[in-house]
Amino acid sequence: MKVKRILSAKSGDVITIRPDAPIRDAVALLTEHNIGALVVMAEGESRPVGIISERDIIHRSSVSESLFSEPVESIMTSELITGMPQDDLYSVAHTMTEKRFRHLPILDEGKLVGIISIGDVMKAQRDAYRGEIDTRETQLLAGAE
Amino acid sequence: MPEVGTEQNPLRVAIVGAGPTGFYTAEQLFKQKQYTVEVDMYERLPTPFGLVRYGVAPDHQKIKSVTKIFDRVAKKPGFRFFGNVELGKDISVADLRNYYHQIVYTTGAQTDRSLGIPGEELDGSYAATEFVAWYNGHPDFRECKFDLSVERAAVVGVGNVAVDVCRILSRTPEELARTDIADYALEALRESNIREVYMIGRRGPAQAAFTTPEIKELGELEDAEVWVPPAEATLDELSEQALAESSDRATTRKVEIIQSYAEERPTDKSRKLVLRFLVSPVEFIGDENGHLQAIKLVKNELYKTEAGTLRPRHTEEYETVPMGIAFRSIGYRGVPLPGVPFKESWGVILNEAGRVIDSDSGEPVTGEYTAGWIKRGATGVIGTNKPDAAETVDAMMDDLAGGQILDPANPGAEAAREMVEAQQPRRFTYEDWLALDEIEVARGEEQGRPRVKFTTVEKMAEALDK
């Protein structure tokens, strides 16, 4: 299965934030949309400049009282790993698990088209397995008749 | 609006498309116990089951046994089947919005993706989907003509559909005569001169999409010997490493089977099936009459993407292989429904977890949903559509609880039936299908076959005196 099959049923816009926005705004957006990470997009650019996750914010808030007024770019991850719609789901699952990150922005010809979380990947894998088990079970039962 | 979902005022749902996903959706709707639900299932063909009847290969009857589960769904009180009724022709989305609280589009993926290479339009170059629908007796495809007088055929793609096409082309007439393949297809394949079939994959054995039982079956054909060029069966370093890291047993087994086909064995079989890996067609070459005569292949190498996928990249190494017929099988694609938002680039209805999304506002369209291949694209086995349908039904039930449903002018079951019959007097019921099914199976019994299909709407109507 390919990554684009996860994105097919996620038509909503990707929630993004500017690098110079205060972290307070990032927290508000994460809460409003009930998501775990925001893609950071600079004005006039189609390629993301970074990603900021709730973990990034929690970790830094323990050492900085003034964190919420600081700009997103001060704590975002700028060495971004991105995927593409043609990526294989199983390879992506492996890479996210091994490299320990939970959100993968998806670019198509350099343009941001979506983001998938480790939760999306797990659900897609679970459903694929369930589907296969169900299909094999139906066939076995039919064979036994 | 009075409370909806009660015995007096049931939730009225229209499901458009009677393939596996349509039935899984109905099953989920009947399975929940909180609300009373009535389902009208619309289908453009007179017969139900979509690709189970017209896609699954005729020599794979066991896979078709899933229809027994669908029959049980059809017996539920509150279920009706409106066959031979087409959305966009006989009825419109506006009609459905007048008679139902919720509409679910489960129309699947009817067409194929093109290769985008020169010569693809030559005579002798076809979509595998057309060939599959033709040999399965689909009424819309029975008039298709495939020139099987040539000796060598190519199937581009390495999914299970590609394997099906390779197998059907490689089976003997005697093998095919035991299946429910369409009579006209059996006759055409009996006259076939094809002796060599090439399956062409752009990546390596470890990345092929076909499943293990399907590839194993290719080694068990009565009169066709399967072979893989040893160099292409050997894993490259990147694939070797990825497989070791993933410890994926299914893929390991698949690779082992493919590699076993690379060993030369003495054979007295008259047909040959060649599996090629790490090559892509770059051009179909025609003769002076515009008929396919060869395909030009480029050798690929694999590279690793940032996210860890092994992708193919063309090299400078080319070869030209004489070829009389070619089938492209690189994926099914959904077609837009009139009046329903569509995401052209991925061939799916614009949706969020099954809720249809308005393309302008980005907000859900009240009362409209989607499930299956037209929701997420053509992927997975039949059963994969069950959890997918369950996700959509969850959204439908949440919206019902939140009062986000349509307020139809005519919510009665009787009114809906009258509307349909006024617009398509020759509609087929589920009882009609059960009667047809019985006749088909009886016709098959006489010949030692699972069934002999009716392949035109006229013949179906005639058999039922409609």
Residues within 8 A of A (CB atoms), B 274-333 only: 305-311
| Per-residue pLDDT, B110 | 84
A80: nearest CA partner in chain B: B306
- B261 pLDDT more than 90: yes
Q: How far is CA B436 from CA B429, B430, B454, in A?
A: 11, 10, 8
| Per-residue pLDDT, B399 | 98
> Rounded to an integer, what distance in angstroms lies between the CA atom of residue A108 and that of residue A114?
9
B363: nearest CA partner in chain A: A12
Range scoring the smallest mean pLDDT among A18-22, B83-87, B375-379: B375-379
Distance from chain centroid for Cα B179 = 19
Average pLDDT over residues B326-348: 92
| Per-residue pLDDT, A137 | 84
> Rounded to an integer, what distance in angstroms lies between the CA atom of residue A46 and that of residue A110?
7
- B165 pLDDT more than 80: yes
Domain B111-331 has CATH 3.40.50.300: no
Start-end ranges of CATH 3.40.50.720 in chain B? 11-110+334-428
- B123 pLDDT more than 70: yes
Mean residue pLDDT across chain B:
95
Contact B307 A132 (CB under 8 A): no
Percent of chain B's residues with pLDDT above 70: 100
Q: Which residues of B157-170 are buried (b: 16+ CB within 10 A; e: fewer)?
A: bbbbbbbbbbbbbb
Chain A residues in contact with B388 (beta carbon < 8 A)? 127
pLDDT in tens, A69-123: 999 999 999 999 999 999 999 999 999 999 999 999 999 988 999 999 999 999 9
- Contact status of B242 with chain A (Cβ, < 8 Å): yes
Dihedral angle computed from the Cα positions of residues A124, A127, A132 and A134, in that order, rounded to the nearest 10 degrees: -170
Question: What 3-state DSSP class applies to B155?
Answer: strand
Percent of chain B's residues with pLDDT above 90: 92
| Per-residue pLDDT, A143 | 64
A99: nearest CA partner in chain B: B307
| Per-residue pLDDT, A66 | 87
Amino acid present at B289? N
Check the CA dihedral B75-B78-B83-B86 and report its sign: negative
* Burial class of residue A99 (count of CB atoms within 10 Å of its CB; 0-12, 13-18, 19+): exposed
A140: nearest CA partner in chain B: B62
Radius of gyration over alpha carbons of chain A, in Å?
18
Tokens 């690098």 belong to residue? A19
Domain B11-110+334-428: what homologous superfamily?
NAD(P)-binding Rossmann-like Domain (3.40.50.720)
pLDDT in tens, B187-229: 999 999 999 999 999 999 999 999 999 999 999 999 999 999 9
Nearest to B375 among A4, A8, A85 (CB): A8
- A144 pLDDT more than 70: no
Contact B217, B261 (CB under 8 A): no
- A44 pLDDT more than 90: no
Contact A9, A32 (CB under 8 A): no
Nearest to A5 among B66, B377, B383 (CB): B377
Q: What is the DSSP string of B102-135?
A: EEEE-----EE-----TTTTSBTEEEHHHHHHHH
Start-end ranges of CATH 3.50.50.60 in chain B? 111-331
Chain B residues in contact with A35 (beta carbon < 8 A)? none
Chain A residues in contact with B113 (beta carbon < 8 A)? none
> Chain A closest CA to B370's CA: distance in Å?
9
Contact B387 A127 (CB under 8 A): yes
| Per-residue pLDDT, B382 | 92
Confidence grade of residue A145 (pLDDT, cut at 50, 70, 90): low
Contact B307 A95 (CB under 8 A): yes
> Chain A closest CA to B60's CA: distance in Å?
10
Secondary element (H or E) of residue B95: helix B93-99
H-type alpha helices, B221-296: 230-233, 237-246, 249-260
- A11 pLDDT more than 80: no
Q: Name which of B69, B211, B365, B379 to mutate to probe chain A: the one with the most chain A Cβ atoms within 10 A of its Cβ.
A: B379
> Rounded to an integer, what distance in angstroms lies between the CA atom of residue B292 and that of residue B121?
9
| Per-residue pLDDT, A41 | 95
The verdict on pTM exceeding 0.90 is yes
